[in-house]
A and B are shown apart, each in its own frame.
Chain A
Amino acid sequence: MELIAQLPESDTWLEDFHDGCRTTLAGVYRDHFATVERAVGRVLRGADQETVIHEVFFRLIASAEQRRQFRGGSFGAWIATVARHLAIDHARRRDRELPMPAETLPERREVIDGDAFAGARVLIERFRDGLPANWQRVFDLCFLGQLTQREAAGMLGVARTTLAYQHHQIRVRLRRFLVPRRGAP
């Protein structure tokens, strides 16, 4: 099958996009957030990733010149390229990445992911160890496993209201553990 470059939905879409039509830009964000997230995520994670995602869309919203750089074709491919370049620039500015060819970036990402992963695991283990024993199962099922309260209550053989209370307690403690109140040490 011959691959055909995707065209915008209509000629008016491109015009609306260039004009900065709010509805069109909202649609761009909605339809291409995942694309940008993936593209930036090949280079950066965490707060940096979200900063660059923000920057990609902010530039489209704020700059007509930026928008006019897209003149047709696959918008998804275009915005992914823009995102990736911004991510690389961001990484270099922060002195985390040595200038390196793009094809080596995925290996670097694994290292970054590994460090972040290990740190998160230590924190979660420490939090879980501080819970009462009967709450640890609730934490495992509802927070790590993302089961619904109904599902977890069924598995644990407890009433939903009992589990809801424990779930609430755990959530409060988790938030305080990970993100202390402003002003607290």
Chain B
Amino acid sequence: MTEPCPSHRLVDHHFAGAIAPASERTLRAHLGTCASCRLRYERYLLLARLDPRIPSAEHRLARGLGLPARSRARSSPMVVALGLAAALALAIVVVRRPDPPAYVARGAAIVESGQALYLYRIAPGGTPQPVVDGQIGHRDELAFAYHNRAGWSRLLVYAIDRAGRVYWYHPGWSDATTAPVAVAIEPGPDRHELPEAIAQPLPPGEIELHAIFTDDAVDVQAIERGIRPARLEELVIPVQVTEEEVP
């Protein structure tokens, strides 16, 4: 096993597509002499063949040369190297493993009881992505999933901006003359998804996403008046809304 090298940061910067030309020259000279950095580089190359988020060689080397980089179109998939059929045949014996422990992600709040709300963003024209770094774009649709190990029967999800305005996700509330109640949810350890992705006119800046697990059929107007169920479990997720498109 090779020892870590301080120049690993140059390798990391290169594969982030964020290396300066002078540092790229340093990296290229260093790779000829350092087994640890070469190994890290080769591992990144393998990762790049599987994860299209790693910039292509053309893109990375353009950055290192100080040239404009084209879009990060991926080259031929790993399936060309391994063969999808061969890859699918790797696991001859399927071993059932328990679900992984609750994963605390930035952008999702999890408390010890095992209740959790998972937040996904869908940029215009994009696909659902977990929210990381607590950032969403102001045009994003939001979708949610939850864990309900405590077995509550209902859920409300809403956002509050810095001015105190409330934006409802679940239940949806588009008619001021109505008062929809907390949505029914499933109990148990599995992760369940709320069915809709919803866009709200969120202002740029910090908001708080609130998830209230309860057994009461409390309605949206009561929540906005500050009337809360006697028994509840609440999760709060701070989120930053940006005006720019979040990649």
User: A: which residues have CB within 8 A of B?
Assistant: 25-26, 29-30, 33, 37, 46-47, 50-51, 53-55, 57-58, 61, 94, 117, 120-121, 123-125, 128-129, 132-133, 136, 140, 143-146, 148-150, 159-162, 164-165, 168-169, 171, 174-175, 178-179, 182-185
Contact = CB atoms under 8 A, between A and B. Distances in A.
Nearest to A135: B100
B128 interface: yes
Contacts of B97: 132-133
Interface of B: 1, 4, 8-9, 12, 24-25, 28, 31-32, 38, 40-47, 49-53, 57-58, 60-62, 64-68, 70, 74, 77-79, 81-82, 84, 87-88, 90-91, 94-100, 103, 105, 118, 120, 127-130, 132, 143, 145, 191, 193, 197
8 contacts: A25-B67, A51-B31, A57-B61, A61-B65, A120-B49, A133-B96, A143-B78, A168-B105
Instruction: Determine the main DSSP class of A at the interface with B.
Output: helix
A150 B129 CA distance: 12
Contacts, number: 148
Contacts of B127: 148-150, 160, 164
A117 B46 CA distance: 10
Contacts of B1: 185
A165 B64 contact: no
B57 A47 contact: no
B61 A145 contact: no
Of B1, B79, B103, most buried by chain A (CB within 10 Å of CB) is B79
B79 A54 contact: no
Given A161-B128, A161-B143, A168-B130, 14 more contacts: A25-B67, A37-B57, A46-B41, A47-B45, A54-B24, A58-B65, A117-B81, A128-B91, A132-B97, A133-B94, A133-B95, A162-B193, A178-B43, A178-B44
A144, A174, A184: residue with the most chain B Cβ atoms closer than 10 Å = A144
| Chain B CB within 10 Å, residue with most, of A123, A145, A148 | A145
Contacts of B25: 58
Given A58-B25, A160-B127, A165-B145, A50 B61 contact: yes
A161 B193 contact: yes
A66 to B, nearest CB: 14
A165 B91 contact: no
A125 B9 CA distance: 27
Contacts of A47: 31, 38, 41-42, 45
Nearest to B37: A47
B66 to A, nearest CB: 8
Closest 4 CB pairs of A and B: A146-B77, A164-B128, A168-B130, A47-B41
Nearest to B77: A146
Given A54-B24, A162-B145, A179-B40, A144 B84 contact: yes
Contact of A53 (B12, B57, B74): B57
Contacts of B28: 51, 54-55
Contacts of A179: 12, 40, 43-44, 47
Nearest to A52: B28
Contacts of B38: 47
A43 to B, nearest CB: 16
B157 to A, nearest CB: 14
A171 B46 contact: no
A164 B130 contact: yes
Given A57-B61, A161-B128, A145 B40 contact: no
Contacts of B52: 146
Contact of B9 (A94, A145, A149, A182): A182
A136 B8 CA distance: 30
A161 to B, nearest CB: 5
B77 A145 contact: yes
